[in-house]
Amino acid sequence: MDISNDDRAPGRVQSVERAVTILEFLAANGWSGVTDVGNALGVHKSTAFRLLNTLEGRGLVEQHVDSGKYRLGFGLLQLAHAVTVGPDIRRQSQPGCEWLAQHTDETITLSVCEDFESVTIDQIVSTSTVASRSWLGRRIPLHAAASGKIFLASLPDGDFEKIVAGPHERFTPGTITDVGLLREEIDRCKANGYATTSEEFEEGLSSIAAPILSFDNDVVAAISISGPTYRLDDERLTELAPLVREAAAQASAGFTYEWQAGRVEEASTQS
């Protein structure tokens, strides 16, 4: 991704563009060398090094002592925790997220819809995960994520028709890109009150999500369970459906939505 002067829109600052591109690159690729970052930016590695060094000084990236490679730093978490999306969605959804993590021992994510993408704003990593992986800040097109399907199902008719018409990027052989099949998938989501994916964004990754509702039954976020497909096969996802719906109902209680322990409110199936 070359962000030379000719590619920049008027009013944009090249060094800031490059710094943001580095953060996005590291978010997608994890530990990366200076040469890798330079290639992604389309600049000499000396320029990439200076940018990385600056970001490291502010805690936004960190460097591995032995390999010299870089990844995102904990300074980003401090910035992320200062972000509020409308009401404090993270705080008010926390009881449902924690309850679901305790009852499934899987990775739990909380997502919102922004610019017609599903964006992860909070995460509880499974203790069964061998290597910790952060999805914070990850943006996924609506058609390829369980949470994204929840948001698709809640869009006004005009926006829904615009988004579902595509075209849709194919990430894996399992990605739903056919408009007719995607419509059928969203119809199932509306009927069931939850959505699933099986190797649709990444091979080997499956998930299930349910909507978190505001006091007037608008979808404000989605709570998801995700994990390896060998553990979350179709049968297991079906077993988890009542749990993710109940957790979503509990999270919705933070938005003055009535929830009673041990059962799922009928309204949690609406989107």
CATH number for domain 84-263, candidates 3.30.450.40, 3.40.1160.10, 2.40.50.140, 3.20.20.140: 3.30.450.40
Residue-wise pLDDT tens digits, 144-155? 999 999 999 999
Of residues 202, 222, 240, the one with CA closest to residue 106: 240
Query: Which pTM value belongs to this model?
Result: 0.64
Instruction: Check residue 270 and give its pLDDT.
Output: 41
Instruction: Check residue 82 and give its pLDDT.
Output: 57
Of residues 150, 151, 119, the one with CA closest to residue 135: 119
| Domains of the chain, residue spans | 14-78, 84-263
The C-alpha atoms of residue 143 and residue 180 are separated, in whole angstroms, by 12
The answer as to CATH 3.40.50.2000 being correct for domain 14-78 is: no
Quick check: 209 and 149 in contact, CB under 8 A? yes
Of residues 77, 146, 78, 76, the one with CA closest to residue 110: 146
The C-alpha atoms of residue 48 and residue 45 are separated, in whole angstroms, by 5
Q: For the purposes of burial, counting CB atoms within 10 Å of the CB of 26, is it exposed (0-12), middle (13-18) or buried (19 or more)?
A: buried
The C-alpha atoms of residue 121 and residue 136 are separated, in whole angstroms, by 6
Q: What is the mean pLDDT of the chain?
A: 83
